[in-house]
Amino acid sequence: MSDQFRALQGFRDVLPEEQPYWHYIEAVAQEVTELFGYRRIETPLLEETSLFRRTSGEGTDVVDKEMYSFDDRADKEGRRQNLSLRPEGTAGVVRAYLENGMARLPQPVKLYYMNAAMFRRDRPQAGRYREHHQFGCEVLGENDPALDAEMIALLYQFYTRLGLKQIHVYINSIGDRESRPQYIEKLREYYRPLLETCCEDCQVRFDKNPLRLLDCKEPQDQAKIANAPKTIEHLSEAARQHFDAVQRYLQAYEVPFRINPLLVRGLDYYTHTVFEFTSEFESKLALNGGGRYDGLAEILGGPHTPGIGFGAGIERIILEMKRQGIEPPAAQKPEVFVVYFDRVEELKTTAIQITARLRKAGLRTEMSYGDRSRKAQMRQANASQAAYTVLIIADELANGLVTIKDMRAEGDDIESKQVQVSLSDLEAYFQPHEHATV
Ligand code: HAM
């Protein structure tokens, strides 16, 4: 047994039992994105590594430590590209927007992706995997703060429709290109004398990605974070107005929110509004994160194109649904189960024909396999929870008849549960579907 293959650490199978959660989340996401006018996009799993390096930023954990990157085989000219499995969805969507001329469409362009696999070589733990999946939205081509509020409202409506409670919405503004450098200087001034006592990661952050100093989880640095200058105290006039408007519009949407002045997010491309949702029960892990990224298209060589988006981790949403006891609609059971009561090839062939006919008529139909005994077949029919069983019995078949047993009928009165139906009338018996609603 020891040499049996296992899934890689941090990678998981999504088994049939969990599929109803995935279906339900997808259905609700589709419903809500449609209400808000978003259209679906899918981008490749694999992109040039530099796409992520340039956008998410050197000095971020996602790019420096967590990407799955490799050199591709050489092309005809002997050139090799370095490729990466995508660690996040925004860079690919913005590349696709630029590459496919979406700037020529009426703006803004509202896009969403669903169950998109992302790969980060993170330390696996509950709610943190090396492959995870995101529901994400990106809106490009417009910097109206109404869109920041709309996106947060969309997410809020999504969680509400899923039935999740006690979801906390945190927002912050990390400023624009005018205010950010000044703020970063202030932050460095504050941290410089404290640096010796900071954790090793923070010493690197100080040079490479000072905003992330505020995101440190080490106990020794928490007091420093609490007293550090806050981004919202150093906003330019334009950034202040933008953030004020976002708050007004969120009130118009009736989304309850709190400002978290320490929220900075882990990727480099953000400007202005950033946001995260957490549940009361799972305060450490975010259900989703996002923000505005007005400079990102330019980093990719495109024209200035404002943008805003979020990614929500499906695995984390499922964990939270389970924690809150929210059951998705169950997977559908078969409507009909076909059994054959003698191990005669002719009966089995008839069972296959009947199964085929019922499926063509649109009925979810299962049959017994493996030439089992009567008793074993009836146990299978019961276990399948099908509404009806079609019994093929040699004597009856000789007269062109089969027996249909209503598996849901109450009581022991066999007669009321069973009817004989002519083979030729089989589909008609189940149509219209009112007999067979499960
Ligand atoms: P992010 O905050 O890195 O943002 O990830 C978004 C969400 O993905 C997280 O809030 C979490 O729910 C889920 N997630 C991230 N890493 C893991 C993991 N290792 N295991 C399980 N779930 C995880 C982004 O990815 C940005 N692209 C979001 C965005 C879109 N910003 C603008 N547009």
Q: Coil, strand, or helix at residue 144?
A: coil
Residues whose CB falls within 8 Å of the CB of residue 248, separated by 6 or more in sequence, listed in order: none
Cβ of residue 289 lying under 6 Å from some atom of ligand 1: yes
Question: Phi and psi of 189, rounded to 5°?
Answer: -55, -45
Mode of pairing for the β-strands spanning 336-340 and 388-392: parallel
> How far away, in angstroms, is 299 Cα from ligand 1 center?
21
Instruction: Tell me the best of 118, 158, 167 to mutate to test the pocket of ligand 1, counting ligand atoms within 8 Å of each CB and taking the most.
Output: 118
Instruction: Give the per-residue pLDDT at 208.
Output: 85
Q: Flag whether 316 is marked binding.
A: no
> How far away, in angstroms, is 3 Cα from ligand 1 center?
34
Cβ of residue 52 lying under 6 Å from some atom of ligand 1: no
Cβ of residue 315 lying under 6 Å from some atom of ligand 1: yes
Long-range contacts of 26-33 (CB under 8 A, 24+ apart): 26/114, 26/115, 26/135, 28/158, 28/161, 28/162, 29/112, 29/114, 29/135, 29/158, 30/114, 31/161, 32/154, 32/157, 32/158, 32/161, 33/112, 33/137, 33/154
> What's the pLDDT tens digit per position in 78-102?
999 999 999 999 999 999 999 999 9
Cβ of residue 417 lying under 6 Å from some atom of ligand 1: no
How confident is the model over 399-419, as a mean pLDDT?
A: 81
Q: Flag whether 134 is marked binding.
A: yes
- What domains does the chain contain, in order, with CATH numbers? 16-179+235-323 (3.30.930.10), 336-429 (3.40.50.800)
Task: State yes or no: pLDDT of 1 exceeds 80.
Answer: no
> What's the pLDDT tens digit per position in 283-329?
578 999 999 999 999 999 999 999 999 999 999 999 999 999 999 99
Nearest CA residue ID for atom 23, ligand 1: 313
Q: Which tokens in the block code for residue 117?
A: 């696999």
> How far away, in angstroms, is 264 Cα from ligand 1 center?
13
> What's the pLDDT tens digit per position in 198-243?
999 899 889 988 988 998 888 999 999 999 999 999 999 999 999 9
> How far away, in angstroms, is 392 Cα from ligand 1 center?
54
Instruction: Give the per-residue pLDDT at 241.
Output: 97
Task: State yes or no: pLDDT of 414 exceeds 90.
Answer: no
* Contact present, 356 and 367 (Cβ < 8 Å): no
Q: Provide the whole-model pTM.
A: 0.92
Rounded Cα distance, 81 and 65, in Å: 19
> How far away, in angstroms, is 253 Cα from ligand 1 center?
24
> How far away, in angstroms, is 87 Cα from ligand 1 center?
9
Cβ of residue 186 lying under 6 Å from some atom of ligand 1: no
Instruction: Tell me the best of 111, 128, 134 to mutate to test the pocket of ligand 1, counting ligand atoms within 8 Å of each CB and taking the most.
Output: 134
pLDDT band, very low/low/confident/very high, at 63 (cuts 50, 70, 90): confident
Cβ of residue 221 lying under 6 Å from some atom of ligand 1: no
Instruction: Give the per-residue pLDDT at 180.
Output: 86
Q: How many helices (H) and strands (E) does the chain have?
A: 16, 16
- Cα-trace Rg, the chain: 29
Rounded Cα distance, 127 and 279, in Å: 13
Rounded Cα distance, 134 and 114, in Å: 6
Instruction: Give the per-residue pLDDT at 335.
Output: 96
How confident is the model over 103-116, as a mean pLDDT?
A: 98
